[in-house]
Amino acid sequence: MLPTLKEQFRRDAEDGAAWFSEDAFASEHDVNGARLLCVLCSDARAGRLDMTTKREHRRPEGMAGGRAVLFVRADRTQGEPKRGTPIRVDGKLYTVDAVRPIGGVVLRLDLEANEA
């Protein structure tokens, strides 16, 4: 018997299929040396994902910053990274600014890069 539409949505959300379809949002990226199917939103797109926090982001004079949001499957990471952890995505070095678990299946990592 086929599942109802509501049941299929629930299954897709639980197993991450709704997030990590190569036909829709996801693509492979190098994350700390491992090829992962994930969703990467950088710069302007990341700003639209409500990356505001109550903390003020201060950078040393002469430093510019870049922001990104990385969505990864929780079961593909080695634990949940802590704020301040360095992470390299496609060769670019970021620092984890915030980690937000989504439904126990997806981790949303708000990333910040300092560039000279």
pLDDT in tens, 64-97: 568 899 999 888 888 889 999 999 999 999 999 9
Number of domains the chain is built from: 1
Task: Give domain status of residue 85, yes or no.
Answer: yes
Please answer whether residues 70 and 26 qualify as being in contact, where contact means their C-beta atoms are separated by less than 8 angstroms: no
The answer to the question of residue 4 being in a domain is: no
In a domain, 90, yes or no: yes
What does the pLDDT average to over 30-44?
Answer: 86
Q: Which CATH number do you get for residue 107?
A: 2.40.10.210
Do the domain assignments include residue 21?
no
**% pLDDT > 70, the chain:** 66
pTM of the predicted model as reported, rounded to 2 decimal places: 0.71
Residue 99 falls within a domain, yes or no?
yes
* Residue 95 belongs to a domain: yes
- Residue 111 in any domain: the answer is yes
Structural domain boundaries, residue 73: 30-52+60-115
